[in-house]
């Protein structure tokens, strides 16, 4: 904290000096300047913006400092730290300047600091969740806030009547009710700051947070009504005024929401026509949202509600209209502004508290308020939840209620409102200010600090961060339709009915009006999810093996095509087997560019070496891309990278020859593919990312034309990869080395690569070796991912296979080059492992290899799992047959055998 305080100290000193200086400078204005000044000090001209910038800078630096220690931020919410920092800074300022210079000005707060936060929360609000729980949220926001303010105010008045509040506090019932109205509203900023770090389940979060946003209307109305009552004097208040007060609740809330929706409409409409001026898209979003806020504020409607509705309403259309980059820009700017505003708010809260001239202490009032707001909040929540649970499908249980009561944090809104009170009309203002500060500090610091342990202790259902799956999207839609249909059939106009109605209205009119035609076309949600998953897979794909791709010229443009070509397989591989895809690519890569082998080795070395930094990077962005199995995947990655390195070195030393032959052809194929991709790209005239399936088709075509014969073969044998592998591997090496396929199964005759005796062992235990090979890398889908490159190689294998009269195996192609490598990888350890395998002593006659194969075939199901095995978590071991229980061991045996 001191570190961040130092620059501020410097600033203050500079400021103090500056304050002194200008008095001298303008001191002699009459004097004509003696000449052209080389250097002029113009602090006053820049003072205001400079200070603002410096404050924000200090706040940001403080944030950085806090986050240097993960331990601190995991224990203490940032808002607490910022308030404490503000206290310290305020103290320093007070000590230096002898008066409190800076504080949270209500004007600044409401006009500049609050809007970004609310806009951010409105724009990124999960709208479906919000509307699913709208009933509960509105109840808590309206009834709850009214309840809290009345009871708190009345109880405080009662406390005063009972003589527990010092007589200095001159306040009547109305004053207390006014105070109750401003102190009882749950604050969105504080709630957001604390709950974002707690990660309770979405429903709970949306209820508390939605309440804090929507209660603004109630707070504003109550505050204004009481304020005018107080100003009028309670004697002059007439019955009609009460009615007006009630009416104004509707005016303010509905009016605010209407303003927000109007601006949302305008915003969506405007962004429809920004096709040629993409650059102002983000600006439009902010400007119109801010305009909504200011308009509502101007009409003294609920500004928070307005901007929330604006963000909520426009998002769907705006996101569809604006470009991808603008979307990112909007997102980041919004988050930055919000976070910045939040930081400044909390810091200024801390600083403001130091100014003792503004407040006066009364223990009775402070303690009473603290007790009452906690008690009545809890009571209100329990009562309302009891009522709500009669109607809710998923009732809120006791634990939820505890968290909701405890999560009722008060914050800067209350503080700003209490500062706005007129001291002449509300004589007890100073006491109220002090109480508010204490309440805010108590809720933010004490409750903020303890809510996390509380949530943990109560075992509140946490939000689980599962990535959206296509299934989820699909079923959600289907269920919606089903429910709507059933409601329709029964003639029951329930929630689903109305949602269905709204969706149809939206689809028929709103979307047509507010969305670009092109955007409207693409917008279908299912396709959208699919597309996003696709992109995500591609990204993680690139993340894991992509540099290799790009290093050989297979750059991103080809990714979509490749991806969509075997779309599912990429996903699957990435999800299930971690970076399995990466390894395969690696294989292709090295095969294709044999001459770049050293590069590749270097690359791998670097990958391995750079592993840690990469992991950190990943963790930071894991929120978006990587699911909970990151760690696991990383482990796999490490394993694979090691494997790859070993394979590389082994290959370069031992198997050089074997690849020379395959190289030219493969490379040609690769180039052709690239050409094909390029062609399609240019033909489509689309940016690479949008290639999608059209591209796929094209690529497939090229492949087909190139290797038609093999294609037909491949189609036959989708499932037999397991067994095929052994033979393929052999065959390949054989083919490559001897150029001819030997008709016999005696593959071991290719002496240069493989010592004869181990091959025999392998033959004897074909399923073993097969599993071993498979186990490491290939899933049935792998071949789909790397079709072009692999298929060329695979052609050879097929032909060799055919000559071998072995059952056709389509999946084999991907494996062609793998077996030797695997052997290489494990080579060092293999010999010791060999004797330990009892099965090794059991020898089949070589001719039996086939039978072994058929055996593995019969257990195709089992084998398919083993393919992924080493890269997967152990849980899948259960699926394996005993023989395949530990693929790694299998590999070793296999290798040992060969050696």
Contact residues for other proteins, defined by CB under 8 A:
132, 203, 391, 393-394, 466, 469-472, 474-475, 477-479, 481-492, 494, 496-497, 500, 504, 521, 524, 526-527, 530, 533, 564, 567-569, 571-572, 693, 697, 780, 861, 864-865
Task: Kindly report the length of the chain.
Answer: 899
Reference 752, options 825, 824, 656; nearest CA is 656
Whole-angstrom Cα distance, residue 824 to residue 644? 10
User: Quick one: CA dihedral 739, 743, 747, 749, positive or negative?
Assistant: negative
Cβ proximity to other proteins: between 754 and 815 the closer is: 815
Cβ proximity to other proteins: between 170 and 478 the closer is: 478
Q: How many other C-beta atoms are found inside a 10 Å radius of the C-beta of residue 52?
A: 13
Whole-angstrom Cα distance, residue 239 to residue 236? 10
Tokens 């809120």 locate to 396
Shortest Cβ 819–other proteins spacing (Å)? 23
Shortest Cβ 674–other proteins spacing (Å)? 23
Whole-angstrom Cα distance, residue 487 to residue 507? 20
Shortest Cβ 697–other proteins spacing (Å)? 8
Shortest Cβ 203–other proteins spacing (Å)? 8
Cβ proximity to other proteins: between 391 and 617 the closer is: 391
User: Quick one: CA dihedral 679, 680, 682, 687, positive or negative?
Assistant: negative
Residue 762 contacts residue 898 (beta carbons within 8 Å):
yes
The whole-angstrom distance between residue 699's C-alpha and the CA centroid of its chain comes to 33
Residue 346 contacts residue 86 (beta carbons within 8 Å):
yes
Shortest Cβ 744–other proteins spacing (Å)? 34
Shortest Cβ 515–other proteins spacing (Å)? 13
Shortest Cβ 860–other proteins spacing (Å)? 10
Whole-angstrom Cα distance, residue 611 to residue 599? 18
Cβ proximity to other proteins: between 308 and 564 the closer is: 564
Residue 769 contacts residue 759 (beta carbons within 8 Å):
no
Whole-angstrom Cα distance, residue 564 to residue 695? 8
Burial class (CB in 10 A: 0-12, 13-18, 19+), 816: buried
Shortest Cβ 719–other proteins spacing (Å)? 9
| HSE-CB of 168 using CA atoms within 13 angstroms | 11
Residue 523 contacts residue 515 (beta carbons within 8 Å):
yes
Cβ proximity to other proteins: between 3 and 521 the closer is: 521
Shortest Cβ 766–other proteins spacing (Å)? 22
Cβ proximity to other proteins: between 222 and 515 the closer is: 515
Residue 329 contacts residue 100 (beta carbons within 8 Å):
no
Residue 4 contacts residue 62 (beta carbons within 8 Å):
yes
Whole-angstrom Cα distance, residue 591 to residue 30? 85
Cβ proximity to other proteins: between 496 and 636 the closer is: 496
Shortest Cβ 486–other proteins spacing (Å)? 6
Cβ proximity to other proteins: between 357 and 390 the closer is: 390
Cβ proximity to other proteins: between 101 and 718 the closer is: 718
Cβ proximity to other proteins: between 479 and 509 the closer is: 479
Helix/strand/coil for 462: strand
Shortest Cβ 693–other proteins spacing (Å)? 5
Tokens 């980059």 locate to 325
Tokens 């070793």 locate to 892
Whole-angstrom Cα distance, residue 442 to residue 435? 10
379-418 burial code (b ≥16 CB/10 A, e <16): ebbeebbeebeeeeeeebeebbbbbbbbbbbbbbbbbbbb
Cβ proximity to other proteins: between 257 and 484 the closer is: 484
Whole-angstrom Cα distance, residue 624 to residue 526? 19
Cβ proximity to other proteins: between 355 and 722 the closer is: 722
Shortest Cβ 612–other proteins spacing (Å)? 32
Cβ proximity to other proteins: between 250 and 479 the closer is: 479
Distance set, CA 217 to CA 185, 250, 420, 647 (Å): 10, 9, 17, 67
Shortest Cβ 427–other proteins spacing (Å)? 52
């Amino acid at each position: 904290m001191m570190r961040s305080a130092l620059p501020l100290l410097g600033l203050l000193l500079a400021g103090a000096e500056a304050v002194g200086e200008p008095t001298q400078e303008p001191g002699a204005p009459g004097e004509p300047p003696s000449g052209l000044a080389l250097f002029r000090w113009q602090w006053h001209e820049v003072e205001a913006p400079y200070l603002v910038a410096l404050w924000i800078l200090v706040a940001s630096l403080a944030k950085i400092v806090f986050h240097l220690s993960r331990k601190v931020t995991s224990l203490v919410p940032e808002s607490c730290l910022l308030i404490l920092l503000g206290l310290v800074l305020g103290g320093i300022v007070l000590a230096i300047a002898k008066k409190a210079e800076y504080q949270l000005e209500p004007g600044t707060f409401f006009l500049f600091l609050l809007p970004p936060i609310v806009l951010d929360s409105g724009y990124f609000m999960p709208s479906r969740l919000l509307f699913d729980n709208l009933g509960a949220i509105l109840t808590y926001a309206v009834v709850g806030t009214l309840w809290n303010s009345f009871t708190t105010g009345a109880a405080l008045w009662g406390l005063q009547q009972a003589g527990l509040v010092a007589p200095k506090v001159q306040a009547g019932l109305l004053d207390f009710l006014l105070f109750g109205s401003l102190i009882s509203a749950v604050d969105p900023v504080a709630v957001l700051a604390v709950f974002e770090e707690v990660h309770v389940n979405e429903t709970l979060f949306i209820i508390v947070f939605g309440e804090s946003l929507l209660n603004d209307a109630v707070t504003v109305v109550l505050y204004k009504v009481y304020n005018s009552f107080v100003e009028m004097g309670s004697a002059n208040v007439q019955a009609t005024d009460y009615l007006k007060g009630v009416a104004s609740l509707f005016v303010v809330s509905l009016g605010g929401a209407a303003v927000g929706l109007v601006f949302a409409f305008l915003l969506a409409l405007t962004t429809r026509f920004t096709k040629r001026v993409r650059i102002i898209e983000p600006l439009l979003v902010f400007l119109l949202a801010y305009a909504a806020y200011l308009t509502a504020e101007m009409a003294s409607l609920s500004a928070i509600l307005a901007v929330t509705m604006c963000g909520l309403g426009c998002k769907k259309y705006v996101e569809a209209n604006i470009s991808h980059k603008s979307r990112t820009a909007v997102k980041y700017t919004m988050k930055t502004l919000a976070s910045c505003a939040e930081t400044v708010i909390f810091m200024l809260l801390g600083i403001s508290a130091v100014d003792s001239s503004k407040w006066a202490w009364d223990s009775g009032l402070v303690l009473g308020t603290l007790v009452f707001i906690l008690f009545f909040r809890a009571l209100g929540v329990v009562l309302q939840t009891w009522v709500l649970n009669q109607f809710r499908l998923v009732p809120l249980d006791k634990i939820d209620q505890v968290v909701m009561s405890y999560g009722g944090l008060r914050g800067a809104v209350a503080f700003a409102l209490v500062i706005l009170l007129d001291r002449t009309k509300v004589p007890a203002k100073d006491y109220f200010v002090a109480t508010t500060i204490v309440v805010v500090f108590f809720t933010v610091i004490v409750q903020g600090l303890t809510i996390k342990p509380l949530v943990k202790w109560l075992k509140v259902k946490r939000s689980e961060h599962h990535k959206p799956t296509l299934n989820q999207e699909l079923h959600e839609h289907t269920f919606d339709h089903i429910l709507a249909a059933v409601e329709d059939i029964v003639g029951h106009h329930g929630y689903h009915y109305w949602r269905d109605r709204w969706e149809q209205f939206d689809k028929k009119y709103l979307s047509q009006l507010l969305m670009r035609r092109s955007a409207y076309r693409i917008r279908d949600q299912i396709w959208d999810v699919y597309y996003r998953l696709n992109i995500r897979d591609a990204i993680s794909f690139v993340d894991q093996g992509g540099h290799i791709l790009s290093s050989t010229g297979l750059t991103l443009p080809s990714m979509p095509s490749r991806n969509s070509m075997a779309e599912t397989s990429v996903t699957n591989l990435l999800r299930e087997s971690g970076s399995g895809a990466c390894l395969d690519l690696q294989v292709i890569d090295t095969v294709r560019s044999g001459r770049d082998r050293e590069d590749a080795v270097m690359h791998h070395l670097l990958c391995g070496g750079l592993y840690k930094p990469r992991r950190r990077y990943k963790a930071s962005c894991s929120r978006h891309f990587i699911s909970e199995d990151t760690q696991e995947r990383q482990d796999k990655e490490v394993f694979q990278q090691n494997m790859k390195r070993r394979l590389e070195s082994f290959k370069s030393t031992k198997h050089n020859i074997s690849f020379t032959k395959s190289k030219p052809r493969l490379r040609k194929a690769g180039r052709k593919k690239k050409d094909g991709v390029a062609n399609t790209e240019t033909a489509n005239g689309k940016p690479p990312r949008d290639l999608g399936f059209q591209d796929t088709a094209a690529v497939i075509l090229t492949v087909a034309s190139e290797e038609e014969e093999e294609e037909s073969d491949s189609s036959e044998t989708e499932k037999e990869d397991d067994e095929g592998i052994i033979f393929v591997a052999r065959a390949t090496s054989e083919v490559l080395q001897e150029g001819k396929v030997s008709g016999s199964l005696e593959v071991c005759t290719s002496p240069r690569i493989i010592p004869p005796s181990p091959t025999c062992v392998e033959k004897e235990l074909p399923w073993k070796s097969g599993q071993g090979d498979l186990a490491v890398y290939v899933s049935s889908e792998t071949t789909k991912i790397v079709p072009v490159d692999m298929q060329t190689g695979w052609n050879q294998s097929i032909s060799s296979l055919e000559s071998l009269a072995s059952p056709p195996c389509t999946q084999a192609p991907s494996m062609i080059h793998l077996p030797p490598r695997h052997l290489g990888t494990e080579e060092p350890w293999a010999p010791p492992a060999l004797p330990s395998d009892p099965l090794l002593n059991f020898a089949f006659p070589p001719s039996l290899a086939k039978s072994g194969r058929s055996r593995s075939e019969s257990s195709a199901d089992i084998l398919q799992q083993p393919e992924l095995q080493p890269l997967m978590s152990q849980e899948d071991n259960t699926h394996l047959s005993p023989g395949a229980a530990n693929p790694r061991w299998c590999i070793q045996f296999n290798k040992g055998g060969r050696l």
